[in-house]
Structure 1
Amino acid sequence: MTTDVLGRRALNRALLARQLLLDRHPMPALDAIEHLVGMQSQAPNPPYVGLWSRLEGFDFGELSALMTDRRAARIVLMRGTLHLVSARDARALRPLTQVVLDNYLKSPRAVPLRGFDLAPVVARARTLLEEAPRSDKELRALLAERWPDLDADLLVWAVRCSLPLVQVPPRGVWGASGLARHTTLESWLGEPHPEPSLDEMVLRYLGAFGPASVQDVQHWSGLTRLGEVVERVLPKLRAFRDESGRVLYDLPEAPRPDPGTPAPVRFVPEFDNLLLSHADRARVISEEHRKRVFTVNGIIRATFLVDGFVHGMWKMERKRGAATLRLMPFSPVPEPAQAALAEEAGRLLAAAHPDAATHTVEL
């Protein structure tokens, strides 16, 4: 196996290519979601912008239809966070990532439940949620009727750690609103994947985020001891090193563009896995800028890329029929990039809010 050294720009261009951000691709949204091994979706709307930035001619209604037709779903997976995935990946990935949630039930928050048999609570919750999708508030009230002496909030949290729950539409549909309601994966999408594979999960991660280290794939997934998996699939991989000497693994035929490849400006939404899927994020954002984008309360702000790297943040609002996109750069933006950002922002406003009376870009 070779051990060529890949610099920061080489890793940046490889990541952008895998993330469909060097060129917009003419592929169906469902194919893109599967290629990306899901999209983090702590908030309902960011995946729409994420797909718009990646796909040629993407229509927001395409993703809405995938949600309502049950071909895509929002479910807790990697890192114990809510992800938008295909129905197939929801069934395949949830058994592999359940251990992350099992570990939550061993955390200090679960101490009041030590010695208590959760099985009847989980069974009752499954019945209630499969009768009809319910909000956390509704589930709390129903569980409190049966277990009035226990903390209902804690019970609902334990249920969400124990059961694979899908957040159902209209939540997650562009332009829709309403409480988050859940039902079980089995009720919404059918039985889990019969043969989930950690080996396949790691290989798919490399296809979407490589070249990467074992620590990187563990950071993305929330799982540990993945070095053993990498060892198993090593014959299928090629090895590199970064400038610090860390070993990086990759699929031999995956794209690794020349570091000088031009990178267009791109809008990256909140919580995008582009910024969340490596232990070392220097390939796309500096540590100084990371501290401004990642907030103390867990919000990952929307960013824009100039020459492939995070150059600032952005925010889109609609008030009284007027849609506005504000750009907040971390440093002066070169003039050619200013024009490209303004043009890209105008297109995004038109796609996200086609019926707004006005579209305004503010730098």
Structure 2
Amino acid sequence: MGRSPALSNRAVGVATLARQHLLERAEMPAESMVGHLLGMQAQAPFPPYFGLWSRIVAFRAEELAGLIENARVVRIVLMRGTVHLVTAADAAFLRPLVQPILDADLRTNTQHRQALAGVDAATVAVIGRELFADGPLGHSELGESLARRFPDASPSSLVHAVRNLIPLVQVPPRAVWGKSGHVRLMPLEKWTGVDVETNPSPERMLLRYLAAFGPASVADAQSWSGLTRLGEVMERVRPQLITFTSESGAELFDLPDASRPELDTRMPVRIIAAFDNLLLSHADRSRVITADSRAKLFTRNGVFPPVVLVDGQVAGEVKLTREKARSLITVVPYRRLSKAHQATVAAEARRMSKFAAPAAAEHEVTFAEVV
């Protein structure tokens, strides 16, 4: 068998940005975009709004807020054991596929495993479901109720166990634009009316991952999902795929008819939301961020701010400060930007500012020193 054709980092990057609708904003309903992206990381409530603003023409925050309020999209623990915003159908599809991550966490989590030692997980799950009979519960309410049944275990650890054992969604007003609210939980099936799939296809999951994040290696897919042994699954779908070789020598898989634009394709300035999966879904992230930039960005235990892409690569981070009559965006560049690039970055930043703070009378953009 001959060696697969080579793809440069730039070729891989432009292909990924095309799939992510970051080369050209799409005229697509928000629900369809969330589905296409196979979820958006959402441990903070509002970054997905900015992620959709970056990808959809004339996106309105009220559209996503309505989908959350109507249970069309939900926030639930999924890939990598983190909270994601997904369609209700994808929550039911993905949760059983990533359940092994959450089961393993109960055995390995240093914060909770000792407190849960001797507690029967199956019993916790049964009792946990019963507690939601009358509606959503906050963490403290759920913990207090569980502690009455399991007095020797920590309430917070019991809540963590239920959150891992039962598909629980965070219900409104949490994550509704313009509103605030503490986390309140409800079983997925009760909140959405959608039953969790009993035999979800990991092959389908990988094909959808490639549609949104490809070309990608097995290691990339494992980094996105948090799962292991996906090489076996990829082998089963190999006949449906084509392969390439990355600059590092890794085998990259892709859908035959997926977009792979020419190398000279224009890559416009884009501001990428905090926690965006674009930066978290590959083992080799050089397609969108250099090693130097990655060292500057990922210094906060996985928490990172919005970033700006210039010519397809992370070129700095963005800080938004909102006041009653003024919205200020500070761009912190990771390298020197030309005057032309500064102008286009400033224009995109002002557009984001007007989306984030439409009532502000002033929208100011400043550039900090290169870090």
Q: What TM-score does the superposition give when structure 2 sets the normalisation length? A: 0.95
Q: Residues of 1 paired with 2:79 and 2:109: CA distance?
A: 21
DSSP 3-state at the match of 2:163: helix
Matches for 1:17-166 after TM superposition, within 5 Å = 17-109=18-110, 110-166=113-169
Partner residue in 1 for 2:235 = 231
Q: CA deviation at 1:25?
A: 0.7
DSSP 3-state at the match of 1:5: coil
For residue 173 of structure 1, what is the amino acid of its counterpart?
V
Q: Please say if 1:192 is aligned against 2:196.
A: yes
Q: Residue 38 of structure 1 contacts residue 83 of structure 1 at CA under 8 Å; is this kept in 2?
A: yes
Q: Please say if 1:14 is aligned against 2:15.
A: yes
Q: CA deviation at 1:108?
A: 4.9
Q: Greater relative contact order: 1 or 2 (C-alpha under 8 angstroms, separation 6 or more)?
A: 1
Q: Residue 172 of structure 2 contacts residue 181 of structure 2 at CA under 8 Å; is this kept in 1?
A: no
Q: Residue 213 of structure 2 contacts residue 281 of structure 2 at CA under 8 Å; is this kept in 1?
A: yes
Q: Please say if 1:361 is aligned against 2:362.
A: no
Q: CA deviation at 1:130?
A: 3.9
Q: Residue 60 of structure 1 contacts residue 352 of structure 1 at CA under 8 Å; is this kept in 2?
A: no
Q: CA deviation at 1:194?
A: 4.6
State the 4+ residue runs in structure 1 displaced beyond 3 angstroms: none
Q: CA deviation at 1:114?
A: 3.0
Q: Residues of 1 paired with 2:124 and 2:208: CA distance?
A: 36
Matches for 1:214-229 after TM superposition, within 5 Å = 214-229=218-233
Matches for 1:174-189 after TM superposition, within 5 Å = 174-189=177-192
DSSP 3-state at the match of 1:113: coil
Q: Residues of 2 paired with 1:202 and 1:130: CA distance?
A: 35
For residue 69 of structure 2, what is the amino acid of its counterpart?
T
Q: Residues of 2 paired with 1:194 and 1:145: CA distance?
A: 32
Partner residue in 1 for 2:298 = 294
CA shift digits 1:280-320 (9 cap, x unpaired) = 10110011111221134321221100001000000112123
Q: Residue 216 of structure 1 contacts residue 278 of structure 1 at CA under 8 Å; is this kept in 2?
A: yes
Q: What TM-score does the superposition give when structure 1 sets the normalisation length? A: 0.97
Q: Residues of 1 paired with 2:183 and 2:152: CA distance?
A: 26
Partner residue in 2 for 1:204 = 208
CA shift digits 1:136-192 (9 cap, x unpaired) = 122112222333332111111111111111001111111211101111111111211
DSSP 3-state at the match of 1:4: coil
- Alignment: residue pair count: 363
Q: 2:340 aligns with which of 327, 336, 340?
A: 336
Q: CA deviation at 1:78?
A: 0.7
Q: Residue 270 of structure 2 contacts residue 308 of structure 2 at CA under 8 Å; is this kept in 1?
A: yes
Structure 2: gaps spanning 5 or more residues: none
For residue 205 of structure 1, what is the amino acid of its counterpart?
Y
Q: 2:311 aligns with which of 283, 307, 313?
A: 307
- Between the aligned residues of both structures, percent identity stands at 50
For residue 26 of structure 2, what is the amino acid of its counterpart?
H
CA shift digits 1:220-243 (9 cap, x unpaired) = 001111111111111100010011
Partner residue in 2 for 1:167 = 170
Q: Residue 115 of structure 2 contacts residue 153 of structure 2 at CA under 8 Å; is this kept in 1?
A: no
Q: Residues of 2 paired with 1:339 and 1:189: CA distance?
A: 45
- Distance 1:356-1:108 versus aligned 2 partners, 3 A rule: closer
Q: Residues of 1 paired with 2:124 and 2:36: CA distance?
A: 37
How large is the Cα RMSD of the aligned pairs?
1.4
Q: CA deviation at 1:28?
A: 0.7
Q: CA deviation at 1:2?
A: 6.8
DSSP 3-state at the match of 2:299: coil
Q: Residue 37 of structure 1 contacts residue 85 of structure 1 at CA under 8 Å; is this kept in 2?
A: yes
Q: Residue 130 of structure 1 contacts residue 183 of structure 1 at CA under 8 Å; is this kept in 2?
A: no
Q: Residue 71 of structure 1 contacts residue 86 of structure 1 at CA under 8 Å; is this kept in 2?
A: yes
Partner residue in 2 for 1:254 = 258
